[in-house]
Each structure stands twice: as structure tokens, then as C-alpha cells.
Structure 1
């Protein structure tokens, strides 16, 4: 599966700072010091309705991670999956009377178009669950050999008790985990499971649903968590730098995936930092497909909204915060974009050397994009009020905003 085209990232004078970011597992800041190649895995979409502002906010956060690393003169090895076969996708296809595979292709194509318009940097490896099945089957077989998996009426489950580190990503108690498991795709009440929290590794073939040859596993399809584990281990290995996604993935998805990988490899941890973006709401509720309260990037683009303004709207809220999408949030971003473009359109202006440092420091400090926007706002206000004589300043501001915030002025 192919990703989307990359926009050019301008080089800035000097060098960026190492990233300090909040780690869910330790519930505190960690300073990441990758080697020459920083490794990041971000969980992708289930392509049955793409791309709403919750998606956009999540991928915006991890685009900033990449840009901070690139500014430190590192390379970035970025991997993202597409869960192109799963219950929600099959249910939507049945509801709409379309082929599930066609729906997945349609929505994945739209997602690529939205990411391109928003100038999100693409992953080097963009892998669908279906194409990952040949790599998933041996992992499930290995977990069975290790005694960490068991059969239940033809389905195969992972035993969370096999991992002594289980629970150390989300740090939730068993009662909270059970509630979230039921809400987020698990089946804690299924009779016969060794532990109510045990997740599915391989779903035996059901009539009328797609299935694949699983060798000794029988025909079926993979569970959600093992999909990402197979892709991450194949392309990044263990102890990569950042595992990323929305905050609703901390449990069960990232918790279960970490346990799968740790049992398979005997190594700990799967990732050096587990980083989670907040939820975006609308009308007082989390924006989600199940609630039907979605604001789509593609709809805004069709209405003529500049994608640069959408990105500025996303930057205006800290990535870890839960926040509300409103017309005013978007209007403020449109106004800000206009002020910035007017400021950099002049032939000269006040020096921007300090601005570059301010934006770098803000983003290195747990991706504080609102502080970065405020720094550019101050330069634009000085430009409007006083002007300046530095003929290189407007260009430097434009390059800084492009390189570090992904916004073309």
C-alpha cells in the first residue's frame, strides 16, 4: 500500500532541540534522544469514514514530532498501518450495501488526499492489515508455542497473564480495563476466556465474512492489536522511540500490543515513549463515528476552507488536551493565517532570529504548538506596528512556519 506525497521541508539555520514529551506509561515528561534515525509508529485509520477532525488532530501531533526530529538533523523512520479489515468496516459496508474492500479503498484514498492537503509528512511504510497477514500468522503461532495463546471455539486469544509488564502502558486497574475493553472492541464477558481482558489474536472464519488461510491457525482474520505488532516489529524492531495515537488507544490497543511484542521478543519495553493525543469534541461530546457528530476535513476543503487554516486551528490547542471544534476556532485560524501572510508579504521586517529559537523551544517542550503560534503572532504584530529593515526576515519566518508547523505561507 502506498502513502501520499511528501511536501518539502525547508532547512533552517542552526539546529533544533531534542524533544521532551509526555509519556503515558510514566505519566511524566521524557527527553527523547534517538540515534541518527528516529523511529515512530502511529496507529492508522480503520477506513470506513475518513478523515474527521479527531483524526486530523492526532496526525497533526505526530507530524510535529517528525518535524522537531528533522530539525535536529536526524532522519525519521515513520510507520503507519491501515486496519483495512475489521468489524466496524464490515458493518458499515453491510449497512451501505457496498463491498467492504471497495469501501476500504475509497476511504483510504480520501484519507491520503486529506493528508496531502494538510501537508502531513507521510510514513515510509504504510501497511494494510490484509497485506500484513503473512507476517501476522507466524507471530500468533509463536505465541501459541510460548503458551501465551489459547484456542476458544476456534478463535485464538492472547493470555495477558503471560506478560509480567501487562498494565504498565495505561496504568489502569482491572475494573477500569474491563469497562474500556467492552467499550473498545473487546469481549470481556465471553464465557471460557482465561481472563476477561484477554484479546483476540485470530478470529476463526465466520460465514459471510472475509477470511484468509492461517496455516495451523485455520482460516480466519487477525485481531486488531497483533496487526500493529507485526507491522511495527517488521519495520522498526523493539524499543523504538515513539508509539503514537489518540488517547483512546492507550487501552486496550497500545497496552495489548506492548504485551504481545514483549512476550514474543522477551524484551521490554516495546516503545521508549507512549504518546497520546487528546480527543476532539463537538457539541459537548467526543467526535466519533458512532455518535455521528463528525466534522470532515474533506467537507471543509470542498467548502473552500484553506487547509493551512485547518492546520492552524489544530495547532491552536495543545495536542494532549481534549477540546471542542467550533466555527470560532476555525474563524480564528482563518484570521491568523491572513495576518501571517500579510506580514511575510512585505519586502523586509523586524529580525526573526529570536522567533526561530522561540518556535523551536516551544515545540521541543511537549509540542507546545499554541506557544509557537503566539511567538509568530508577536512577530507579525511587530511587523504591522513598526516594520523593520531586515530583508531576510519575512522569508525566514515563512520557512520556519513551513518547516516546523507544516503551514505554507
Structure 2
């Protein structure tokens, strides 16, 4: 009888311990890669702030801020050098941080009234060349112009794209690559001679598959934002964090090894469960609301605790996304209140995410 009670207690204790543990595989931070003059400061920021905060995944939005050798015509002015990147790689390796480069592909090829580097150098890749960037950008507008896209059906676009991807993955010594692919509003445009009659979901899925298969040759995993895979009308999620341009069914067509970064900035919408149920690894992402970051941490942990392993293993963790410069974020991090209020809110949100993750960990440490 005594042995039976001991065995029962052991089983119950083990079950409770399993339920209490957080141990999120991913506690991430996503931000623009630093400018050349801020690399050294950012290296120290990784060492002194990000690593001690428990960040184990760092996505740097590089885009054209690198001195590309294969496609030098696409490098920004005064871009990061090979040695700059290697200093970032070194500090991340030292702190066991998975460093992931991002280059925005498909969408986000312009911003307001400024054309991005890819379409500036290769205007023939433009999905909507008939839509001109206005001198004074306003949203909404009659063209539905948010950001331009490249046409995924152009016969030469991937020669260029793959050169960028291959070089940036190699210099970052990366095992993962983030392709962006959020907020793609121009896709299968009626005026495009190549894809006007194509299903937007199939076009989107085709681009994801092409990128994933290319990366897979070198054992690199593709990460993307998740908004184009969420039906936005029936769900009420809308056109930004979800899709109203018929791309959502692409979720049934893309490879299951793609990692989904599921961003929701106003509420902790429980779509990670949806992606997990579909068989995808997923990360819940916050931006500027501390309460959302806190709820996302609790939500992911709750899903992990109460799902079968086939689903819980897909729920990787949480990530803070910053949409200011690395310099602005670091400056705001040092000072609690700043004149740049948006940046200050981002920092508060980041700190809340870190605090919430540590709170979960401290609970598990008690057992």
C-alpha cells in the first residue's frame, strides 16, 4: 500500500512538473539590422541585454543593408561589411542565440513613396508597373497601394533572389532564413501579363514552396510571417493580420517545414493553435502593447500544456518584433521615457515579454 501511494505521488508530481514547465524553445527578438556605425554598440547590446534577458533567437532584417558580392548593384549605400556581420555572428554564437537574417521577398518592395532597391534596379520585376508611387503617399488610396510586390512568375526574378538569399545565409552562417512575405496585397494583379489569371493562393504558395525547396538543399529552414495564411473576413481579423485577398488557402499548399511567425499586435488572437493544428511550427509575435505580450506568453504556454504532443511540439514560443531602427531601440532601452513615444512602447512591450517568460520559468523552478 505504501509503495502504491509513493508511486501514485510520483506520477502526479511528474505530471504537475511537466505542466508547470515553460522552457519555450523560442524566445525571440526581431529588429532591423544595425547600421554600420552602430554595429559595435549592438554587439554590446546583445551581450549585455538580449542574452541576459533570455533571448535565444534574433532575427535581423537585413534586406539590402549588406555589401553583396554576387549582386553588388543591390547593396544600399554604406552597407554592413562581411566583418560587420561576422562580429554579429560571433556574439550570437557565444551566447547560444540563433541568428536569422531576413530579406523581404515577394511583398514590401516599396514603402510609401519610395521604391525598394530590387524594383529600382530591376523594374521589369514589378507586379504593378502601371501603378506609380505618389509624391505624397496617403493610406487608403484609390490604387490600394501599400507596398509593391515583385511578380513571382517573372522568368528571371529568382536568379536574382536566390543569389541574395544564398549569400546572406552563408555570411550569417544561418540554419534558418526569414523571407518576410507579410502584407502582400499585390498578387495576381489583373494587369500583370504573367499572373493575372492565376489564383493568389496558388501564387503565394508557389513562391513559398520555391523558396523552401531552394533553402532545403542546404538544410536551411524557411520562416515567414503568417498573415497571408489567415482568412481575414470570416474570422474578423481583417486585411492586415489576416488576408482579404484570397491567399489564405495557401496554408493547405505550402510545406509543413515552414516556420510561421504569427503576429497580432492589438490582441493575443489564438491563431497559433490554428497553425499548430495544421502541422506548422509557430511563434506568437507582439509589438507595442505589453498586455498583448503578456497574454501571448500565457497563451502559448497554456496551449503547450493542454495539447497533445503532436500539437504542443509545434508551439515554439514568442517573439517581440520591433519596427524602429536598432539605434532607436537601444537608445529607448536605456531611458525609460523618450521623446519617441512609439519606440518607448516597443521597449516596454519587449520587457514585458521577457518578464512574462521568466515568470513562467520561475514557477517551474519551484518544483
> What TM-score results when the alignment is normalised by the length of structure 1?
0.28
Higher relative contact order (CA 8 A, sep 6+): 1
> What TM-score results when the alignment is normalised by the length of structure 2?
0.31
